[in-house]
Structure 1
């Protein structure tokens, strides 16, 4: 008998209720079955986004207002050397990744970015950068417009773990936006994970990550956690491509409400 997609989802809901297993943990198990950057992973379907960046609310911390890099630095407190021009900041080749001077844990981030207008290169060699929450958990920045690469390395992916739900990319050189809710991991006194980190993300207004629980850090293939501070700097990655950023603001969030 052929089982419809809706019936499969209903069956999962029943299993979740009966066994106490959340759908998030189910998705996490499914994600863990794939090798990092596995080529056999299904590609996200393509949708066409609308246009409209978001203005910062009154309680936002402005991380980049188009004027200077005063809120940013390189490692060991060195000045950030990215190029500031026409209200944007751009990765400078060998300029190094930059981090915020302030540290953050749970947060809401708005950030706008644009890959090079030339559209040169392919795969991971085309408009590559990244946003690393706490310097450890990366939301991929990549020119993914008609650019095939491994699914967990495309724009909107949690790098090496979760592909974007859909590919909402605009063309090379066009401004794009991420709206992200990040929840930090919580550890007990022995360093065991009490609550994994999670990311909810909208790419150009389209949901691409729905409370995705991270399997660990996104650097390398280990996908494991190591206990760290409750707040750490946000990082923008230098991947040797002149990706531009603008209109970056962040809101610190309280702990999630308990029922």
Structure 2
């Protein structure tokens, strides 16, 4: 009982502190800067027990525009490309703990900088984001660069390919668990390999990866959609598959 009361008190304090934060810059930090490493994307065919979410011909039948309708993004060969203004896309199926493979390519936008350069994101449950960004030749806050748990934890290293080249993420995500009263029993965890290099090592996610304010949990089902963000940049995705754990 004492532990539950302490947890509730901490959540109330975090909520009060978060309510006072209105400037997004308050949750951005720039140091330490993850060192750059050279790495190549890992193109891995789906194993036999995987669910292919995006394969040959960029068949988007596993995806919806978020309202149950057809995806409006652009097809380019085996890739789907963000159509700015069309909105995020999300899987029709809902998942809990998963291993996800996904490949992405930033557009050629040399005149853009920071968060305006190849911005997108991979979301679990529509809440927990692994950032997609062209971070090879542009600087931004480190907990918002490619491979970061957005506005929480920067990557261990910067393994981003140069602008216009493909990148790969291999992500192991464990969903948070709540009891019947909505209390957090187990937080979410994420491990991320970027181009085959470990950049998030079983990171404990602190809550919904909000743009403004401290991150905190709100109870939700143990399964949810995987979604890809439309942030107004022509980011491409291909070879997406998932294994339920």
TM-score range, shorter chain: 0.7 to 0.9
- State the Cα deviation string for residues 224-252 of structure 1 (Å, max 9, x = none): 00110111110100000000000000000
Pairwise mapping of residues 136-175 of structure 1 onto structure 2 (< 5 A)?
136-175=127-166
- 1:197 aligns to what? 188
- 1:240 aligns to what? 232
Q: What is the alpha-carbon distance in structure 2 between the residues aligned to residue 120 and residue 143 of structure 1?
A: 12
Pairwise mapping of residues 86-101 of structure 1 onto structure 2 (< 5 A)?
86-101=77-92
What SS does the aligned partner of 1:104 have? coil
- 2:45 aligns to what? 55
Q: What is the alpha-carbon distance in structure 1 between the residues aligned to residue 172 and residue 228 of structure 2?
A: 17
Greater displacement, 232-241 / 182-191: 182-191
Aligned length in residues? 219
Q: Does 1:123 align with 2:98?
A: no
Q: Please give the root-mean-square deviation of Cα atoms over the aligned residues, in Å.
A: 1.3
Q: What's the TM-score once normalised by structure 2's chain length?
A: 0.86
Contact 2:27 2:214 in 1 (8 A): no
Contact 1:66 1:89 in 2 (8 A): no
Highest relative contact order (Cα 8 Å, sep 6+), 1 or 2? 2
**Which residues of structure 2 form unaligned runs of 5+?**
1-24
What SS does the aligned partner of 2:92 have? strand
**Which residues of structure 1 form unaligned runs of 5+?**
1-33, 254-259
Q: What is the alpha-carbon distance in structure 2 between the residues aligned to residue 83 and residue 56 of structure 1?
A: 23
Contact 2:121 2:229 in 1 (8 A): yes
Match of 2:36 among 46, 67, 83: 46
Match of 1:108 among 96, 99, 124: 99
Contact 2:40 2:161 in 1 (8 A): no
Q: What's the TM-score once normalised by structure 1's chain length?
A: 0.82
- The structure number with the bigger radius of gyration is 1
Q: What is the alpha-carbon distance in structure 2 between the residues aligned to residue 52 and residue 196 of structure 1?
A: 29
